[in-house]
Amino acid sequence: MAPLYKLTYFDGRGFAESARFLFKYGNIDFEDIRIKRQDWPKMKNSTPFGQVPVMEHNGKQICQSAAICRYLGKMVNLAGNNDWENLEIDSIVDTMNDLRMKIMLVQWEQDAVKKRELKDTVLEEIVPYYLARLEALVEKNKGNLAVGRLTWADLYFVSMSPGFDAFIGGDTFAAYPNLKLLRDKVETLPGIKEWIENRPNSDF
Amino acid sequence: MAPLYKLTYFDGRGFAESARFLFKYGNIDFEDIRIKRQDWPKMKNSTPFGQVPVMEHNGKQICQSAAICRYLGKMVNLAGNNDWENLEIDSIVDTMNDLRMKIMLVQWEQDAVKKRELKDTVLEEIVPYYLARLEALVEKNKGNLAVGRLTWADLYFVSMSPGFDAFIGGDTFAAYPNLKLLRDKVETLPGIKEWIENRPNSDF
């Protein structure tokens, strides 16, 4: 039978890897469609808002990676047990998205001098500010980012951590033992371990 | 009795007005705490991630406006009826956040020449691209952004529309009759109508 879900993105981890982690964790078959950069301009207008990842299900297309992961997280039993727990999970996921956005602003900066200044600020102030708070949260939540047990926020965070490492030029979590333990835990989960070993190589 | 919810933000609409709309729509008492810019540096570190709005409930603090609104939207019966409907709502909300971010990047640009270029691109290409798609969505969804009936995505969108108007220097929806009707509908909802008439004046 053809998979019930298709996930379309570029040939990279980027904004799609979190959804792939959730599909693999839940052992849910999906079609992992990877488009070539040169094919993107002619595909762009067929997506809901000119962006990928796009998930397709029952003939419907939907964009926005965090929204997709919230849906998949519920499906694979990694959501909260009540509305407040879901709020805690959602809050940490959007906090992660903020951190990623601050890093992307450095990558998008064209002026070399400004890029250097901005990168220094992000590396010396912003990243440590977030990581110290995340480290404390994980300690408080018994090795997880929220609600005292594994949720889709943990998979979301760990799936993007190689992107942080690439930006920093080293191990993002070197000075953060709880975050390292969280990463080790997620990366060895059934489904995810095999995926990391076998996933396509990519630059981003 | 003291309100069960506190919402802390600057003295402006900004990222908090969507939550205020939802409290008012649901007739839920909340404390609308507005901090002065000069008081922010000494408060910043007491917030979860150095950002407002922060919502307080049962002695717990939580940040991230979209996450807060998802929780409030559920509470006031403006969420989806199933997981896929919630995904459609979440997707459109994060799409709105993307549009707002693209506008904020213009506002943050310090270099006057680049700011002008970036503003032209956003005004001439990005804003019309989004608005045309949103207009079509609202037509398809019987006057709403998602799932064919009023949801918290509609209140979220309309609460931020004065910010779009300020950026554009005119009525954002002038050429988009369905978006205008949606705005009119939301702005005359019980609770929200009175709030808009009586809310504090602010520059943002």
Give pLDDT, residue B115: 95
The partner residues of A34 in beta bridges, in order of sequence, read A9
Element (H, E) at A7: strand A5-10
Q: Is the pLDDT at B125 greater than 80, yes or no?
A: yes
Q: Are B159 and B18 in contact (CB under 8 A)?
A: yes
Tell me: pLDDT of B15 over 90. yes
Put simply, the answer to whether B101 touches A98 (Cβ < 8 Å) is: no
pLDDT > 90 in chain B, percent: 96
* In the predicted structure, residue A114 carries a pLDDT above the cut 80: yes
* Minimum distance, in Å, between the CA of residue A58 and any CA atom of chain B: 11
Question: In this structure, are residues A149 and A85 in contact, taking their beta carbons and an 8 Å threshold?
Answer: no
Question: Does residue B154 register a pLDDT over 80?
Answer: yes
* Residue A25 near residue A189, CB atoms below 8 Å: yes
Task: Tell me how far CA of residue B96 lies from CA of B93, B127, B133, B158, B182, in angstroms.
Answer: 5, 11, 12, 10, 15
Confidence of residue A148 (pLDDT cuts 50, 70, 90): very high
Query: What pLDDT, on the 0 to 100 scale, is given for residue A204?
Result: 85
Cα–Cα distances in angstroms (integers) from residue B16 to residues A174, B5, B55, B66, B161, in the given order = 36, 14, 10, 10, 13
Domains, chain A, ordered by start: 5-76+191-198 (3.40.30.10), 83-187 (1.20.1050.10)
| Cα dihedral A177/A180/A186/A188 (nearest 10) | -110
Split at pLDDT 50, 70, 90, the class of B186 is very high
Indicate which of B68, B86, B90, B102 best probes the interface with A, i.e. most A CBs within 10 Å of its own CB: B90
* CA distance between the termini of chain A: 31
Q: Is the Cα torsion angle A81, A83, A86, A91 positive or negative in sign?
A: negative
Q: Which long-range contacts (CB under 8 A, 24 or more apart) does A159-165 make?
A: A159/A13, A159/A17, A159/A18, A159/A20, A159/A21, A160/A13, A160/A17, A160/A18, A160/A96, A160/A100, A162/A13, A163/A13, A163/A14, A163/A100, A163/A103, A163/A204, A164/A103, A164/A127
Task: Quickly state the pLDDT bin for B203 (edges 50, 70, 90).
Answer: confident
Judge: B86–A94 Cβ closer than 8 Å, yes or no.
Answer: no
Kindly report, residue by residue over A7-32, the tens digit of the pLDDT. Answer: 999 999 999 999 999 999 999 999 99
Which residue of B62, B83, B111 is in closest CB contact with A88? Answer: B62
For residue A76, the distance in angstroms to the closest alpha carbon of chain B comes to 12
- pLDDT tens column, A57-108: 999 999 999 999 999 999 999 999 999 999 999 999 999 999 999 999 999 9
Structure tokens at A71: 């849906």
**pLDDT of the residue at A202:** 86
Mean pLDDT of chain B: 96
Task: Considering only the beta carbons, identify the residue of A62, A98, A133 that sits closest to B87.
Answer: A62
Name every chain A residue with its beta carbon within 8 A of the beta carbon of B68. Answer: 87, 91
Residue range A39-62, pLDDT digits in tens: 999 999 999 999 999 999 999 999
Contact B129, B157 (CB under 8 A): no
Q: Is the pLDDT of residue A203 over 80?
A: no
Q: How confident is the model at residue B141 (pLDDT cuts 50, 70, 90)?
A: very high
Using CB atoms and an 8 Å cut-off, which of residues 135-194 of chain B contact chain A?
A: none
- In this prediction, residue A2 carries a pLDDT of 86
- Asked whether the beta carbons of A163 and A204 are under 8 A apart, the reply is yes
Render B24-84 in DSSP notation, one character per residue.
HHTT--EEEEEE-GGGHHHHHTTSSSS-S-EEEETTEEEE-HHHHHHHHHHHTT-S-SSHH
Give me the pLDDT at residue A32, please: 98
Pairwise CB contact (< 8 Å): B66 & A133: no
Residue B47, pLDDT above cutoff 80: yes
Alpha helices in chain A, H assignment, sequence order: 17-25, 40-44, 65-75, 83-108, 112-121, 127-140, 152-168, 177-187, 192-198
Q: What confidence score (pLDDT) does residue A58 get?
A: 96
Above 90 in pLDDT, residue B2?
no
Q: Do A87 and B98 touch (CB under 8 A)?
A: no
Q: Which residues of A touch B60 (CB under 8 A)?
A: 84
Contact B64 A88 (CB under 8 A): no
